[in-house]
Amino acid sequence: MSEAVSRPTLEAVAARAGVSRATASRVVNGGDGVREPLVERVRRAVEELGYVPNQAARSLVTRRHDAIAVVIAEPETRIFTDPFFALQLRGISKELTAHDNQLVLLLTEGRDDHARVARYLTGGHVDGALVFSLHLDDPLPGLIDGSGVPVVFGGRPGWSDGGDSAVYVDCDNRGGARDAVRHLAGLGRTRIAHITGPLDQTSAADRLQGYRDVMDALGESDPQLVVASDFTPAGGEHAMGELLDRRPDVDAVFAANDLTALGVLRVLRERGRRVPEDVAVIGFDDVLPVTERSEPALTTVRQDIEEMGRLMARLLLTSLNRTAPGTDPPSSVVLPTTLVRRATA
Protein backbone atom coordinates (compact mmCIF):
# COMPACT_ATOMS: atom_id res chain seq x y z
CA MET A 1 0.00 0.00 0.00
CA SER A 2 1.41 3.40 -0.92
CA GLU A 3 1.69 5.77 2.03
CA ALA A 4 1.00 9.47 1.74
CA VAL A 5 4.31 11.32 1.77
CA SER A 6 5.01 14.96 1.04
CA ARG A 7 5.27 15.79 -2.64
CA PRO A 8 6.53 18.96 -4.28
CA THR A 9 4.08 21.85 -4.06
CA LEU A 10 3.37 24.63 -6.50
CA GLU A 11 5.01 26.98 -4.00
CA ALA A 12 8.23 24.96 -4.27
CA VAL A 13 8.04 25.18 -8.05
CA ALA A 14 7.53 28.96 -7.90
CA ALA A 15 10.43 29.38 -5.46
CA ARG A 16 12.80 27.32 -7.58
CA ALA A 17 11.79 29.16 -10.76
CA GLY A 18 12.03 32.52 -9.00
CA VAL A 19 8.51 33.55 -9.98
CA SER A 20 5.32 34.27 -8.08
CA ARG A 21 2.91 31.48 -7.20
CA ALA A 22 0.34 33.04 -9.54
CA THR A 23 2.76 32.93 -12.46
CA ALA A 24 3.73 29.35 -11.73
CA SER A 25 0.04 28.43 -11.54
CA ARG A 26 -0.69 30.13 -14.85
CA VAL A 27 2.05 28.16 -16.59
CA VAL A 28 1.09 24.84 -15.01
CA ASN A 29 -2.57 25.29 -15.90
CA GLY A 30 -1.88 26.23 -19.48
CA GLY A 31 -2.92 29.88 -19.21
CA ASP A 32 -1.62 32.66 -21.45
CA GLY A 33 0.08 35.94 -20.68
CA VAL A 34 3.36 34.67 -19.23
CA ARG A 35 6.58 35.70 -20.96
CA GLU A 36 8.45 32.86 -22.64
CA PRO A 37 11.64 32.98 -20.48
CA LEU A 38 9.49 32.67 -17.36
CA VAL A 39 7.48 29.84 -18.90
CA GLU A 40 10.74 28.07 -19.57
CA ARG A 41 11.98 28.55 -16.00
CA VAL A 42 8.76 27.23 -14.52
CA ARG A 43 8.81 24.22 -16.87
CA ARG A 44 12.36 23.43 -15.83
CA ALA A 45 11.46 23.70 -12.14
CA VAL A 46 8.47 21.37 -12.67
CA GLU A 47 10.73 18.84 -14.30
CA GLU A 48 13.53 19.08 -11.75
CA LEU A 49 11.20 18.74 -8.77
CA GLY A 50 9.01 16.07 -10.37
CA TYR A 51 5.97 18.25 -9.66
CA VAL A 52 2.58 16.68 -10.40
CA PRO A 53 -0.25 19.24 -10.50
CA ASN A 54 -3.01 18.63 -8.00
CA GLN A 55 -5.65 17.74 -10.53
CA ALA A 56 -8.53 18.20 -8.13
CA ALA A 57 -7.49 21.75 -7.39
CA ARG A 58 -6.76 22.42 -11.05
CA SER A 59 -10.15 21.06 -12.05
CA LEU A 60 -11.86 23.48 -9.66
CA VAL A 61 -10.30 26.30 -11.64
CA THR A 62 -10.48 24.95 -15.17
CA ARG A 63 -13.52 22.69 -14.70
CA ARG A 64 -11.71 20.31 -17.00
CA HIS A 65 -10.61 16.79 -16.27
CA ASP A 66 -9.30 15.83 -19.71
CA ALA A 67 -11.16 12.59 -19.23
CA ILE A 68 -14.06 11.06 -21.15
CA ALA A 69 -16.21 8.26 -19.80
CA VAL A 70 -17.32 5.35 -21.96
CA VAL A 71 -20.40 3.46 -20.87
CA ILE A 72 -21.42 0.27 -22.62
CA ALA A 73 -24.84 -0.59 -21.32
CA GLU A 74 -24.13 -4.33 -21.18
CA PRO A 75 -22.69 -6.58 -18.46
CA GLU A 76 -18.88 -6.69 -18.58
CA THR A 77 -19.04 -10.35 -19.62
CA ARG A 78 -20.59 -9.35 -22.96
CA ILE A 79 -18.13 -6.53 -23.51
CA PHE A 80 -15.28 -9.02 -23.50
CA THR A 81 -16.96 -11.65 -25.70
CA ASP A 82 -18.45 -9.50 -28.48
CA PRO A 83 -15.63 -8.12 -30.69
CA PHE A 84 -17.94 -5.25 -31.69
CA PHE A 85 -17.17 -3.49 -28.42
CA ALA A 86 -13.41 -4.01 -28.65
CA LEU A 87 -13.43 -2.45 -32.13
CA GLN A 88 -15.51 0.52 -31.07
CA LEU A 89 -13.28 1.08 -28.04
CA ARG A 90 -10.23 0.92 -30.29
CA GLY A 91 -11.51 3.84 -32.36
CA ILE A 92 -12.48 5.79 -29.25
CA SER A 93 -9.14 5.13 -27.56
CA LYS A 94 -7.10 6.27 -30.56
CA GLU A 95 -9.04 9.50 -30.90
CA LEU A 96 -9.04 10.39 -27.20
CA THR A 97 -5.34 9.58 -26.86
CA ALA A 98 -4.54 11.76 -29.87
CA HIS A 99 -6.07 14.64 -27.91
CA ASP A 100 -4.48 13.59 -24.58
CA ASN A 101 -7.81 12.77 -23.00
CA GLN A 102 -8.09 9.81 -20.63
CA LEU A 103 -10.52 7.04 -21.61
CA VAL A 104 -12.46 6.07 -18.50
CA LEU A 105 -14.40 2.87 -19.10
CA LEU A 106 -17.15 2.31 -16.55
CA LEU A 107 -17.91 -1.40 -16.25
CA THR A 108 -21.03 -2.89 -14.70
CA GLU A 109 -22.49 -6.26 -13.90
CA GLY A 110 -25.85 -5.21 -15.29
CA ARG A 111 -28.59 -2.63 -15.37
CA ASP A 112 -28.93 -2.52 -11.59
CA ASP A 113 -25.59 -0.71 -11.56
CA HIS A 114 -26.62 2.08 -13.92
CA ALA A 115 -27.68 4.42 -11.10
CA ARG A 116 -24.14 4.17 -9.73
CA VAL A 117 -22.73 4.84 -13.20
CA ALA A 118 -24.90 7.95 -13.46
CA ARG A 119 -23.61 9.16 -10.07
CA TYR A 120 -20.05 8.80 -11.31
CA LEU A 121 -20.83 10.60 -14.57
CA THR A 122 -22.47 13.52 -12.80
CA GLY A 123 -19.90 13.59 -10.00
CA GLY A 124 -17.36 15.82 -11.66
CA HIS A 125 -14.92 13.12 -12.72
CA VAL A 126 -15.22 13.40 -16.50
CA ASP A 127 -15.90 16.10 -19.08
CA GLY A 128 -18.36 14.07 -21.11
CA ALA A 129 -19.54 10.59 -21.90
CA LEU A 130 -19.85 8.21 -24.82
CA VAL A 131 -22.75 5.85 -24.21
CA PHE A 132 -23.62 2.85 -26.32
CA SER A 133 -25.58 -0.37 -26.57
CA LEU A 134 -28.56 1.23 -24.83
CA HIS A 135 -31.78 -0.72 -24.47
CA LEU A 136 -35.09 1.09 -24.65
CA ASP A 137 -36.09 0.86 -20.99
CA ASP A 138 -32.64 1.65 -19.64
CA PRO A 139 -32.81 4.29 -16.89
CA LEU A 140 -29.35 5.64 -17.73
CA PRO A 141 -30.28 8.40 -20.22
CA GLY A 142 -32.90 9.71 -17.82
CA LEU A 143 -30.41 9.67 -14.96
CA ILE A 144 -27.75 11.65 -16.81
CA ASP A 145 -30.12 13.90 -18.73
CA GLY A 146 -30.27 17.29 -17.12
CA SER A 147 -26.94 16.80 -15.38
CA GLY A 148 -25.16 18.99 -17.90
CA VAL A 149 -22.72 16.21 -18.81
CA PRO A 150 -22.35 16.27 -22.62
CA VAL A 151 -23.13 12.90 -24.16
CA VAL A 152 -22.69 11.37 -27.59
CA PHE A 153 -24.53 8.12 -28.17
CA GLY A 154 -23.38 5.11 -30.12
CA GLY A 155 -26.42 4.04 -32.11
CA ARG A 156 -29.61 6.06 -32.54
CA PRO A 157 -31.36 6.37 -29.17
CA GLY A 158 -34.81 4.84 -29.20
CA TRP A 159 -36.63 6.81 -26.56
CA SER A 160 -39.18 9.32 -27.76
CA ASP A 161 -38.91 12.12 -25.19
CA GLY A 162 -35.88 14.28 -25.67
CA GLY A 163 -34.20 11.83 -27.97
CA ASP A 164 -34.51 14.28 -30.84
CA SER A 165 -31.76 16.51 -29.53
CA ALA A 166 -29.38 13.63 -28.84
CA VAL A 167 -26.19 13.49 -30.88
CA TYR A 168 -25.35 10.00 -32.06
CA VAL A 169 -23.23 8.02 -34.49
CA ASP A 170 -24.82 5.06 -36.21
CA CYS A 171 -24.65 3.06 -39.40
CA ASP A 172 -27.48 2.71 -41.90
CA ASN A 173 -28.94 -0.40 -40.27
CA ARG A 174 -32.13 -0.38 -42.32
CA GLY A 175 -30.36 0.18 -45.64
CA GLY A 176 -27.76 -2.48 -44.89
CA ALA A 177 -30.47 -4.99 -44.05
CA ARG A 178 -32.26 -4.20 -47.31
CA ASP A 179 -29.05 -4.84 -49.27
CA ALA A 180 -28.61 -8.20 -47.56
CA VAL A 181 -32.16 -9.39 -48.22
CA ARG A 182 -32.18 -8.10 -51.80
CA HIS A 183 -28.95 -10.01 -52.40
CA LEU A 184 -30.53 -13.22 -51.08
CA ALA A 185 -33.59 -12.67 -53.26
CA GLY A 186 -31.28 -12.05 -56.23
CA LEU A 187 -29.80 -15.51 -55.64
CA GLY A 188 -33.28 -16.89 -56.28
CA ARG A 189 -34.11 -17.60 -52.63
CA THR A 190 -37.80 -17.30 -51.82
CA ARG A 191 -38.05 -18.42 -48.20
CA ILE A 192 -35.73 -15.87 -46.61
CA ALA A 193 -35.77 -15.88 -42.81
CA HIS A 194 -34.55 -13.23 -40.36
CA ILE A 195 -33.15 -13.91 -36.90
CA THR A 196 -33.39 -10.62 -35.04
CA GLY A 197 -31.29 -8.94 -32.36
CA PRO A 198 -32.80 -7.67 -29.10
CA LEU A 199 -35.69 -5.56 -30.40
CA ASP A 200 -35.40 -3.03 -27.58
CA GLN A 201 -32.28 -1.76 -29.38
CA THR A 202 -32.78 0.46 -32.42
CA SER A 203 -30.05 -1.33 -34.38
CA ALA A 204 -31.97 -4.60 -34.15
CA ALA A 205 -35.33 -2.93 -34.80
CA ASP A 206 -33.97 -1.08 -37.85
CA ARG A 207 -32.48 -4.25 -39.35
CA LEU A 208 -35.80 -6.03 -38.93
CA GLN A 209 -37.50 -3.09 -40.65
CA GLY A 210 -35.08 -3.27 -43.58
CA TYR A 211 -35.80 -7.00 -43.93
CA ARG A 212 -39.53 -6.31 -43.90
CA ASP A 213 -39.20 -3.52 -46.50
CA VAL A 214 -37.84 -5.97 -49.06
CA MET A 215 -40.01 -8.95 -48.13
CA ASP A 216 -43.15 -6.80 -48.33
CA ALA A 217 -42.09 -5.45 -51.72
CA LEU A 218 -41.52 -9.01 -52.91
CA GLY A 219 -44.85 -10.11 -51.50
CA GLU A 220 -43.07 -12.84 -49.55
CA SER A 221 -43.63 -11.67 -45.98
CA ASP A 222 -44.33 -14.50 -43.56
CA PRO A 223 -44.24 -13.98 -39.79
CA GLN A 224 -43.12 -17.60 -39.38
CA LEU A 225 -39.82 -16.67 -41.02
CA VAL A 226 -38.91 -14.15 -38.29
CA VAL A 227 -37.40 -15.45 -35.02
CA ALA A 228 -36.37 -13.18 -32.15
CA SER A 229 -32.90 -13.54 -30.69
CA ASP A 230 -30.23 -11.59 -28.79
CA PHE A 231 -27.04 -10.94 -30.84
CA THR A 232 -25.17 -13.94 -29.30
CA PRO A 233 -23.99 -17.24 -30.88
CA ALA A 234 -26.01 -19.26 -28.34
CA GLY A 235 -29.08 -17.20 -29.18
CA GLY A 236 -28.47 -17.76 -32.88
CA GLU A 237 -28.25 -21.51 -32.37
CA HIS A 238 -31.46 -21.61 -30.41
CA ALA A 239 -33.33 -19.47 -32.93
CA MET A 240 -32.05 -21.48 -35.91
CA GLY A 241 -33.14 -24.73 -34.28
CA GLU A 242 -36.61 -23.27 -33.78
CA LEU A 243 -36.70 -21.95 -37.34
CA LEU A 244 -35.78 -25.32 -38.88
CA ASP A 245 -38.44 -27.05 -36.80
CA ARG A 246 -41.02 -24.48 -37.84
CA ARG A 247 -40.02 -24.02 -41.49
CA PRO A 248 -37.81 -26.90 -42.71
CA ASP A 249 -38.05 -25.42 -46.22
CA VAL A 250 -36.12 -22.22 -45.30
CA ASP A 251 -33.51 -21.50 -48.00
CA ALA A 252 -31.84 -18.33 -46.69
CA VAL A 253 -31.17 -16.63 -43.35
CA PHE A 254 -30.35 -13.00 -42.73
CA ALA A 255 -28.86 -12.98 -39.21
CA ALA A 256 -29.00 -9.71 -37.26
CA ASN A 257 -25.27 -9.81 -36.53
CA ASP A 258 -22.18 -11.96 -37.16
CA LEU A 259 -22.24 -13.68 -33.76
CA THR A 260 -25.81 -14.79 -34.44
CA ALA A 261 -24.73 -16.07 -37.87
CA LEU A 262 -22.02 -18.17 -36.17
CA GLY A 263 -24.72 -19.99 -34.20
CA VAL A 264 -26.82 -20.36 -37.38
CA LEU A 265 -23.90 -21.96 -39.26
CA ARG A 266 -23.25 -24.37 -36.38
CA VAL A 267 -26.85 -25.64 -36.36
CA LEU A 268 -26.98 -25.95 -40.16
CA ARG A 269 -23.79 -28.06 -40.04
CA GLU A 270 -25.24 -30.28 -37.30
CA ARG A 271 -28.45 -30.78 -39.25
CA GLY A 272 -26.58 -31.64 -42.43
CA ARG A 273 -27.68 -28.61 -44.44
CA ARG A 274 -25.11 -27.33 -46.93
CA VAL A 275 -24.19 -23.64 -46.92
CA PRO A 276 -24.86 -21.90 -49.27
CA GLU A 277 -26.33 -24.66 -51.48
CA ASP A 278 -29.26 -25.53 -49.20
CA VAL A 279 -29.35 -22.43 -47.04
CA ALA A 280 -27.59 -19.12 -47.80
CA VAL A 281 -26.53 -17.05 -44.77
CA ILE A 282 -25.70 -13.36 -44.34
CA GLY A 283 -24.58 -11.66 -41.12
CA PHE A 284 -24.14 -8.02 -40.09
CA ASP A 285 -21.15 -6.06 -38.67
CA ASP A 286 -18.14 -7.71 -40.34
CA VAL A 287 -16.24 -8.21 -37.11
CA LEU A 288 -13.21 -9.83 -38.70
CA PRO A 289 -12.19 -12.19 -35.89
CA VAL A 290 -15.59 -13.83 -36.43
CA THR A 291 -16.18 -13.57 -40.16
CA GLU A 292 -12.71 -14.68 -41.15
CA ARG A 293 -12.71 -17.71 -38.87
CA SER A 294 -16.24 -18.90 -39.68
CA GLU A 295 -16.68 -22.05 -41.73
CA PRO A 296 -17.54 -21.27 -44.57
CA ALA A 297 -16.37 -17.65 -44.59
CA LEU A 298 -19.33 -15.41 -43.79
CA THR A 299 -20.96 -13.03 -46.25
CA THR A 300 -21.97 -10.01 -44.20
CA VAL A 301 -23.00 -6.35 -44.12
CA ARG A 302 -19.95 -4.35 -43.18
CA GLN A 303 -20.08 -1.30 -40.92
CA ASP A 304 -16.89 0.53 -40.01
CA ILE A 305 -17.09 0.01 -36.26
CA GLU A 306 -13.70 1.45 -35.35
CA GLU A 307 -14.46 4.56 -37.40
CA MET A 308 -17.78 4.93 -35.61
CA GLY A 309 -15.95 4.91 -32.27
CA ARG A 310 -13.48 7.47 -33.56
CA LEU A 311 -16.31 9.70 -34.78
CA MET A 312 -18.17 9.50 -31.46
CA ALA A 313 -15.05 10.65 -29.64
CA ARG A 314 -14.41 13.39 -32.17
CA LEU A 315 -17.97 14.73 -31.96
CA LEU A 316 -17.76 14.87 -28.18
CA LEU A 317 -14.37 16.59 -28.15
CA THR A 318 -15.65 19.08 -30.72
CA SER A 319 -18.58 19.92 -28.51
CA LEU A 320 -16.12 20.50 -25.65
CA ASN A 321 -14.07 22.79 -27.92
CA ARG A 322 -11.07 20.53 -27.72
CA THR A 323 -10.44 20.37 -31.44
CA ALA A 324 -9.56 22.99 -33.99
CA PRO A 325 -11.59 26.21 -33.80
CA GLY A 326 -13.98 26.95 -36.61
CA THR A 327 -15.34 23.42 -36.79
CA ASP A 328 -19.09 23.01 -37.08
CA PRO A 329 -21.19 22.27 -34.03
CA PRO A 330 -21.68 18.51 -33.73
CA SER A 331 -24.65 16.80 -35.31
CA SER A 332 -25.48 13.13 -35.65
CA VAL A 333 -23.77 11.00 -38.27
CA VAL A 334 -25.11 7.92 -40.06
CA LEU A 335 -22.47 5.96 -41.94
CA PRO A 336 -23.18 3.81 -45.00
CA THR A 337 -22.76 0.03 -44.99
CA THR A 338 -21.30 -2.33 -47.61
CA LEU A 339 -22.25 -5.87 -48.48
CA VAL A 340 -19.10 -8.04 -48.29
CA ARG A 341 -19.49 -11.23 -50.30
CA ARG A 342 -17.66 -14.29 -49.04
CA ALA A 343 -18.72 -17.94 -49.20
CA THR A 344 -22.08 -18.20 -47.45
CA ALA A 345 -24.27 -16.23 -49.89
Q: By the criterion CB under 8 A, which residues form the site for a second copy?
A: 1-7, 52-56, 58-59, 65-67, 76-77, 80-81, 83, 86, 89-90, 93-94, 97, 100, 102-109, 113, 116-120, 122-125, 143-152, 165-167, 319, 330
Q: Which helix (H) or strand (E) holds 152?
A: strand 151-154
C-alpha span between 127 and 150 (Å, rounded): 7
- The minimum distance between CB 146 and a second copy, in angstroms, equals 5
In terms of CB distance, is 116 or 271 closer to a second copy?
Answer: 116
Integer CA distances (angstroms), 139 to 98, 104, 111, 116, 134, in order: 32, 20, 8, 11, 10
Question: Does 276 sit behind a cis peptide bond, omega within 30 degrees of 0 on the bond before it?
Answer: yes
- The minimum distance between CB 230 and a second copy, in angstroms, equals 20
In terms of CB distance, is 100 or 245 closer to a second copy?
Answer: 100
- The minimum distance between CB 329 and a second copy, in angstroms, equals 9
CA neighbours closer than 13 Å in the CB half-sphere of residue 185: 18
In terms of CB distance, is 126 or 215 closer to a second copy?
Answer: 126
- The minimum distance between CB 132 and a second copy, in angstroms, equals 15
- The minimum distance between CB 32 and a second copy, in angstroms, equals 22
- The minimum distance between CB 14 and a second copy, in angstroms, equals 20
C-alpha span between 172 and 183 (Å, rounded): 17
In terms of CB distance, is 133 or 337 closer to a second copy?
Answer: 133
DSSP one-letter string for 252-303: EEEESSHHHHHHHHHHHHHTT--TTTT-EEEEEE--HHHHTTSSSPPEEEE-
In terms of CB distance, is 216 or 270 closer to a second copy?
Answer: 270
What are phi and psi for residue 68, nearest 5 degrees? -125, 130
Task: Kindly give the pairing relationship between strand 299-302 and strand 338-340.
Answer: antiparallel
- The minimum distance between CB 151 and a second copy, in angstroms, equals 5
In terms of CB distance, is 144 or 256 closer to a second copy?
Answer: 144
In terms of CB distance, is 113 or 304 closer to a second copy?
Answer: 113
C-alpha span between 46 and 284 (Å, rounded): 52
In terms of CB distance, is 228 or 234 closer to a second copy?
Answer: 234
- Enumerate residues 6+ apart whose C-beta is below 8 A from 289: 83
- The minimum distance between CB 265 and a second copy, in angstroms, equals 16
Closest Cα partner for 284 from 184, 135, 185? 184
